Structure 1
Amino acid sequence: MSDGTAGPTADTRPTAGDGGTDGDPESEPTVDDLLDQLETLEETVDEEEEVAKVRDAMRTATKLSRPTVFGRIVHGFDRGDIAEALLGSIIFGVPMLVEGGTQEVGAHLATHPAYLVGTFVVTVAAVVGIVYVADFQDVRVDDPFLGVVPRRLVGVLGVALAVAVLGLTAWGRITWAEPMVALGNVVAALLPMAVGGALGDLLPG
């Protein structure tokens, strides 16, 4: 028999232990949570167009979750990038222009073509590592040459190569009467100049 009074009602407000999110930063959704939801969604859709959209969203979420040192997204390669790469190439390259060791290395490379090619390959790999692997910035590849060659890679190497050729020639460090020796000097100087150009382009200043 009821006495006419209302019985106790459940308190539906979230408490510290019931999974509420207010004031609990650990329960805030993360990119990993989003990826889990997208993976679940991918299993439920069956049309190819829908699957492609879900996978594209997953790739975007993955990119957003990838940490970078300075947190910038970098597109293209414009005049500002050229100026930064030029400055980095000069700073790293001046010692190569004035020290005699560059000529010794260049003469050695001139007589060992395999080492010459290997040094150039290492130079390209170093620039690729700095620009696209080390995550100093989130570098996006837009409109690559021939559909595969990134413009930033070509730009950084091109600026460093110009500094090496013009600097060594103008300062009388090489003579093109001996092209192989001159090429060896250029390749020897190109490695630190390209590294400097890549760092100058990406590091904030």
Structure 2
Amino acid sequence: MTESNGLEPGTKKGAGSENAGPEDPNIGDLIAKLERLESTVDEGHERQKVRQTIALVERMPGSRAFTQRVSKYTTRDMAEAFVGAVLFSLPLLVEDGVFEIADYLTSVTVGAIPAFFLANVTFVVVLTAGMLYYTDFRDVQIHRPVFGIIPRRLIGVLVISLLTAAMMMYMWGRLAAEDPTSFETVGRITVIWAAAAFGAALGDILPGESTGTDVSELLDRSGSER
């Protein structure tokens, strides 16, 4: 008499089914499955319930798997990025060498294209993305990207650091010194932006996963209240 194991003929136990999951599941696998579930539900209150479940699992005692994992993007992350941007840009604000660098970036052109200025902007974006997603500081997850492509955290760090650099340059009178042109003024801001973006990225990811409500959830709530 053949013993039945509850599987279809020719199917090996523990194989061939996506629902079976990994052989040795951990809390990280549970969170990943919940996040996939969140992307499939349609109703806002259902997504909120899934997020609440994820937050509950993340707070479970002994969940060391999350000490290196960053998925939420909260207002606290924005504040940490702002502090990091300020700390790294402060030393450069008093240096007149910023003016020389900005003049050089804006003066070197290939035809009518300011090649070095564009190269510097590209460098800032690539450096920030590399710090956030391609270093071993933290396992930063891309969650609910803007337009399905652009990571929210990357946009946040770049915008916060750029605004911080422009604000501090203006507040300390560094944009009006030596009567620069409008393009040279922008060039000065991008020089400080390079350091500010580096500091903002470190300030965001080094402390780890931030507590609080995800920015997307806040936006969903405000949209549903209208």
Normalised by the size of structure 1, how large is the TM-score? 0.66
- Which residue of 63, 76, 83 corresponds with 2:79? 83
Name the Cα RMSD after superposition: 2.8
1:75-98 residue CA offsets vs partner (Å, 9 max, x unmatched): 232111111111111110011211
Structure 1 position 106 matched with structure 2 position 102: yes
Secondary structure of the corresponding residue to residue 136 of structure 1 = coil
Number of aligned positions between the proteins = 153
Structure 1 71/99 Cα, relative in aligned 2: closer, same or farther at 3 Å?
same
Per-residue deviation, 1:41: 8.0
Secondary structure of the corresponding residue to residue 175 of structure 2 = coil
For 1:163, the equivalent position in structure 2 comes to 164
Structure 1 41/180 Cα, relative in aligned 2: closer, same or farther at 3 Å?
farther
Stretches of structure 1 lacking an aligned partner (at least 5 in a row): 1-39, 65-69
Per-residue deviation, 1:111: 1.4
For 2:184, the equivalent position in structure 1 comes to 181
Structure 1 90/147 Cα, relative in aligned 2: closer, same or farther at 3 Å?
same
Give the whole-Å Cα distance in 2 for the aligned partners of 1:106 and 1:183.
8
For 2:193, the equivalent position in structure 1 comes to 190
Structure 1 position 202 matched with structure 2 position 198: no
Structure 1 position 97 matched with structure 2 position 93: yes
Per-residue deviation, 1:57: 4.8
Q: How does 1:5-154 map to 2 (within 5 A)?
A: 45=16, 50=17, 57=22, 71-112=67-108, 113-154=114-155
Structure 1 position 172 matched with structure 2 position 173: yes
* Superposed structure 1 runs of 4+ greater than 3 Å apart: none
Structure 1 100/73 Cα, relative in aligned 2: closer, same or farther at 3 Å?
same
Per-residue deviation, 1:71: 3.3
Per-residue deviation, 1:128: 1.1
Secondary structure of the corresponding residue to residue 200 of structure 1 = helix
| Identical residues among aligned pairs (%) | 32
Per-residue deviation, 1:100: 0.5
For 1:34, the equivalent position in structure 2 comes to none
Per-residue deviation, 1:177: 6.8
Normalised by the size of structure 2, how large is the TM-score? 0.60
Q: Which amino acid aligns with 1:204?
A: P
Per-residue deviation, 1:135: 2.2
Stretches of structure 2 lacking an aligned partner (at least 5 in a row): 1-11, 30-65, 109-113, 209-226
